[in-house]
Amino acid sequence: MPYSLITLRWRLGLLLAVLLMAGCQNLRHSSSEEYRNSAFQPKLNYGNLRGNSTYAYQPGLEIRPTVPSSDYGDLWQRVCAGYQLRASDHGNARVLKQQEWFANNPKYVQNAALRGSLYLHYVVERLEERNMPSELALLPMVESAYNPVALSSASAAGLWQFMPATGRNFNLRQTRFYDGRRDITDSTTAALDYLSYLHEMFNGDWLLALAAYNSGEGTVTKAIARNARLGLPTDYWNLPLPQETRDYVPRLLALADVIEAPQSYQVKLTPIANQAYFVPLNFGDQPLDLAQIAGLGEIDPTEFTLLNPAYLARRTQGGEPQHLLIPLAKASLLTSRLASLSNDQRQAMQMPVAITEQRSTPAPSRWATLSAGSTTPLTSSSRPAAAIPAALKPTRSAGPTLASLGRKIRVDNTPVPKPSKTDKFLSDLFGEQGY
């Protein structure tokens, strides 16, 4: 047999082996123009994602006794009780390096935790429904510092920092007037769907799933194939990944340690009550003036913007079902005042005829229907009204612009030099002792 033919067969065999070990197409999650162009985005197959999966124990996972969620007075305690990822990180030099950074920059954690106080309960509930590690509730602290209008230099947006093409793949609509990547509930559902898919892809290894969330499936599978070809370990800690990805998982693990023992890192962690902060309400499909909705419910404009940052023009465009997040303390007032409007008043203010609590799941991604967990929100009867913070004083302000709240922040370890207007609002709302 000619030498060239032998060489060709050998190369084809090697290529086939690499593709089998990779097990997926290459999806880049980077700032490159090619990635942002959806024409380069492969059509992922999410059909193998199992609904409501019960994740089996695997080496390196920490399984803790189950405690009823209602037994935790402070939401941070509930978060720490659901940790699953940290048994293998003790003494790891890369984790220790990140812990040292947090100890030297306690304000970063404090400010991010304060921003997250409006959303954390919702995220934790969704994670528990899917039996996913509660460390993932801290991922927006790493991604966006829990800033719902954060926009990176690579055009990633929202709490979970979705790139435009990835957001579209998970049905996060993006127009001139609305950006679903900033929608608190829909982006959370999309992020957990994506993480569940990655967990399934990498055979139940959450560290590899997190690495792929940061750098893309293709980057991680190529690194695994390379190490397997060389006879090297294929776990996360031994893969030749980009430096950002090598720091990404240790940063999350280090942050989990900080949240569990904040006093050890000189972090003053604001307590958060273990109860829902908002309720999603459906408002039909007609255009709405968000300032009028906020005024009718006596909702502080800044608070209303923080809960509904996806609407870029302070109004909805109508034409399809739409939801707004309303502070639970104000939901009854808003619904009763809407019910008391006359038809003439309702038409003049473009108010909906009726509103209902959002109970349906968001529309599925264009590639497949994902059923890993319910997205039914808490109702006003799920938590005692007396436990909700006192109503905020109404204001005549038209409300802040997204630009005033959403500074372009770096989503790495760069410390936040001073609190933003958002942080000041939250400090005034919750104080040092939480609510």
User: Is residue 176 exposed (0-12), middle (13-18) or buried (19+ Cβ within 10 Å)?
Assistant: exposed
Is 412 strand, coil or helix? coil
**How many degrees, rounded to 5, is the angle at CA 366 between CA 355 and CA 39?**
130
Which stretches of 174-216 are DSSP H helices?
184-201, 206-215
143 catalytic, yes or no? yes
CA 344 vs. chain centroid, Å, equals 41
Q: Which contacts (CB < 8 Å, 24+ apart) does range 398-402 have?
A: 398/291, 398/301, 398/314, 399/290, 399/291, 399/294, 399/301, 399/302, 399/304, 399/305, 399/314, 400/301, 400/302, 400/305, 402/149, 402/305, 402/309, 402/312
User: Is residue 24 exposed (0-12), middle (13-18) or buried (19+ Cβ within 10 Å)?
Assistant: middle
- What DSSP character marks residue 24? S
Q: How far apart are alpha carbons 58 and 241 in whole angstroms?
A: 23
Q: How far apart are alpha carbons 393 and 193 in whole angstroms?
A: 38
Q: Which of 125, 143, 217, 303 is labelled catalytic?
A: 143
Which residue type sits at 100? E
Q: How far apart are alpha carbons 22 and 216 in whole angstroms?
A: 13
Residue 276: both structure tokens together:
């829902």
Helices (H) and strands (E) in the chain, counts: 18, 3
Contact of 222 with 250, CB cutoff 8 Å: no
List % helix, strand, coil for the chain (3-state, nearest 5).
45, 5, 45
Residue 30: both structure tokens together:
């980077």
Indicate the Cα dihedral angle 211, 217, 220, 223, nearest 10°: -170
Q: How far apart are alpha carbons 80 and 134 in whole angstroms?
A: 7
- What DSSP character marks residue 157? B
Token look-up 């009726």 returns 354
**Residues acting as catalytic residues:** 143
